[in-house]
Amino acid sequence: MITLEHIYWLSGLMMAGVAIVNFRDRSNRRRINNAAFWGIYGITFLIGSRLPDAVNGFLVIAMVLVASIRGLGQGVDLTPAEEREASARRWGNKLFIPALTIPILTVAGTFAFKRFTVNGVALVDVKQVTVIALAIATLVALAVGMLLLRPALSAPIKEARRLLDAVGWAAVLPQMLAALGALFALAGVGNVVSGLAQRWIPLDTPLVVVTTYAVGMAVFTMIMGNAFAAFPVMTAGIGLPLIVQKFGGDPTIMAAIGMLSGFCGTLMTPMAANFNIVPTALLELPDENAVIKVQIPTALILLGANILLMNFLVFRR
């Protein structure tokens, strides 16, 4: 059976490759820092589940120290911009083929893998079927891209290094913030949020509860920088005790639209650095909040739509 652990191994191998490429890149004055940072990160994927929690904690602290001492850097891009532009013009819209392969196969795999069995055993872990389908789709897209463009065999890992170095430490934010959200949930922050909400907001009607949950997801995401960190807190404090238990809402619909409400907050916060600040830096825009300012109207409209959708759908059984 293909499980999430196998996907972690793939991620770890990629991080290890990025570390090796960084270590060999003498054009980067901070190549040792980069190699150490991505190498340690790779270890957490490869054998993190087999290490004691304390060791994993020390590895995270080591990553913070590496990123703090002299920071991370970027090497010289050996592919001239003119060559990249010429390649883009030559291939045109065909460049979208590998990119579109990923969502198409992910959706197809999400449904198909649930039916595949080998000797009565599911081919993939049905609890993580979407993530596994995404990983397999990415591998297929990589193969399609290699066959279509026929670059050097080292091109994928070098491009992975280039992108990760451009993003820097912000690349690990989603995973770290998701873990922080789980810690908050275990610490009972959700109960505190529920108590404050019930003290100051009249949560006597389904619409008010749904609005509080959706807006809370967006606001807490803006504070934390990641909807995965906000989800366990807001769901434990508002979603489950009020929407599901008090008013009989459907937890599946609540969770799906609730996460989308959190993503509205992602569009409006500099804390989501890997989404909103890094693109500004890569595009060399003069206003570091330019991306956020453009996204705010869309985020607010989508948040309102989520509230209405949840109110009409979550209570229908």
Q: What's the pLDDT tens digit per position in 239-258?
A: 888 889 888 889 999 999 99
| Shared domain check, 153 and 86 | yes
Is residue 285 included in any domain, yes or no?
A: yes
Cα–Cα distance for residue pair 315/317, rounded to 1 Å: 6
Q: CB-based contacts of 200: which residues, under 8 Å, 6+ apart?
A: none
Q: Residue 300's pLDDT band (boundaries 50, 70, 90)? A: very high
CA proximity to 161, closest of 38, 264, 313: 38
The residue from 168, 202, 219 where one domain ends is: 168
Mean pLDDT over residues 296-317, rounded? 91
| pTM greater than 0.75 | no
Range of the domain at 85: 4-168
Is residue 162 included in any domain, yes or no?
A: yes
Residue 139 pLDDT more than 80? yes
The residue from 135, 168, 201 where one domain ends is: 168
| Shared domain check, 211 and 156 | no
Mean pLDDT over residues 35-52, rounded? 92
| Shared domain check, 141 and 35 | yes
Is residue 76 included in any domain, yes or no?
A: yes
| Shared domain check, 57 and 198 | no
Residue pLDDT, tens place only, 93-117: 888 898 899 999 999 988 888 887 7
Side-chain-side CA neighbours of 237 within 13 Å: the count stands at 28
Residue pLDDT, tens place only, 200-240: 777 788 888 999 999 999 998 888 777 887 888 888 888 88
Q: Which whole-number Å values give the CA distances from 53 to 41, 154, 285, in the listed order? A: 15, 35, 41
CA proximity to 218, closest of 253, 177, 260, 281: 260
| Shared domain check, 127 and 199 | no
| Shared domain check, 69 and 215 | no
| Shared domain check, 254 and 138 | no
| Shared domain check, 228 and 144 | no
Is residue 182 included in any domain, yes or no?
A: no
How many domains does the chain fold into? Answer: 2
Number of H helices, E strands in the chain: 15, 2
Residue 20 pLDDT more than 70? yes
| Shared domain check, 205 and 132 | no
